[in-house]
Structure 1
């Protein structure tokens, strides 16, 4: 946050400290030292680190980055590479949250997901629903379970759009298969091409759920290494499914 080029400005630091009620004990010095001195002094005086959390929450609030989404994503990723050592992370809302997976204990655990992979995820525009389901696993570089958790986002989205319960291939058949008319339609369904696309989409969803969601089918693969490229391809495919569901229409149940 105090980085020379892309860090907070002096004015932004002053505003954030004022808003969280932390005195600026050394104004005018290098930004990173200014932030550290203010927060460390407050922590020593009060015996807890709430001021640090409040500072991050305030300066990472998405409303501050309305026209700077890339900067927000970069700061969030770089903060998370440090916060993961305490079992914490900044989520998409700019809030510091505790990771279910706990703290990282090695450099590899914390940093293996830095650099190019983060850039590729941002560049591919991975759907927010996918990332909501696998952020912990991405931070911990647990690629196989990141794919597993991300795949759970698809039936959840499908249930939301269709307004029905179910899971797996049964849910996909119930809501997407053309038949006499799908419950969730991704197109107008008036031509042979429309119906072929609808059937293909239903099969795609069933394929994703069968490949990544079905733990029993994947028992032999639990210890197989999943590369970053394979994970990126899987998350991209799941994102495409979500985007089609974003624009799908729900038909009345027959």
Structure 2
């Protein structure tokens, strides 16, 4: 069978691939570039340049001489072998996800086995990000409640952790208002809806002291989420109140638990 020849990759996509692969924090080291560039059949024409420019120039040199991208894709295969990332799965998935956003524009996707699959060519940034979303994938692995996606889907698509949390926290109040027909907000809403003596929403039968304590604790949990995250995100600029991916995942998991409780035994 004749070897498949892959078309040359446009310079913008090629630059993006090089920047991801040779990223200062999560990408390949200089030593790894020295190993994989020749192994992939590329020429290390600019070894003293910064890592990503060194790799980009190697890619561009190959394409200019051969008018295809075969050995560039071979470089990705070699450097992203899953066996190289034992104990570093998060690093592997982060690099793979970012590469796939760019590769989608040339109709390729690197799968979990480190092998390329043909896919429909993406034509817009939104389409590329929708296909490859590391944050949303991690949420799905945690079985996050579907209500969260209803309220912050666009933020999840762009992996905007700050606004994802803000919108997800707002979804709690909106869900309670829909279930109770109340028009209140924040602590006043929670106290009215989850009252022990005259509740509009019950998460259990409230027949025992333990069940009443659970209702009170649930009420306080929601108030705590509002106080720590909703009020903070509403008033702090994004550059001041930064949220990383791990924190956002933990917050979303807590919000998901609240939604599951609200939907399980609400009245």
TM-score, normalising length: structure 1: 0.52
Q: Counterparts of 1:182-197 in structure 2 under 5 Å?
A: 182-197=199-214
Specify whether residues 131 and 222 from structure 1 end up closer, same or farther in structure 2 by C-alpha distance, changes over 3 A only: farther
How many correspondences in the alignment? Answer: 149
User: 4+ residue runs of structure 1 moved beyond 6 angstroms?
Assistant: none
Does residue 164 of the first structure (1) align with residue 210 of the second (2)?
Answer: no
Q: CA deviation at 1:223?
A: 3.1
SS at match of 1:185: coil
Q: CA deviation at 1:177?
A: 2.8
Q: Is the 8 A contact 2:166 2:234 kept in 1?
A: no
Q: CA deviation at 1:193?
A: 0.4
Does residue 175 of the first structure (1) align with residue 196 of the second (2)?
Answer: no
Q: What is the rounded CA distance, in whole Å, between the counterparts of 2:251 and 2:259 in structure 1?
A: 13
Deviations 1:68-122 (CA, angstroms, capped at 9, x unpaired): xxxxxxxxxx98x94651x4x5xxxxxxxxxxxxxx9xxxxx49x734x343211
CA root-mean-square deviation: 2.8
Q: Is the 8 A contact 1:144 1:222 kept in 2?
A: no
Say which of 147, 152, 170 aligns to 1:129. Answer: 147
What are the ranges of 5 or more consecutive residues in structure 2 without an aligned counterpart?
Answer: 1-118
What are the ranges of 5 or more consecutive residues in structure 1 without an aligned counterpart?
Answer: 1-77, 90-103, 105-109
Deviations 1:114-162 (CA, angstroms, capped at 9, x unpaired): 34x3432111111111111111111222111110011111011101111
Q: What is the rounded CA distance, in whole Å, between the counterparts of 1:184 and 1:222 in structure 2?
A: 37
* Higher Rg: 2
Q: Is the 8 A contact 2:166 2:229 kept in 1?
A: yes
Residue aligning to 1:114: 133
Q: What is the rounded CA distance, in whole Å, between the counterparts of 2:198 and 2:151 in structure 1?
A: 30
Q: CA deviation at 1:248?
A: 2.6
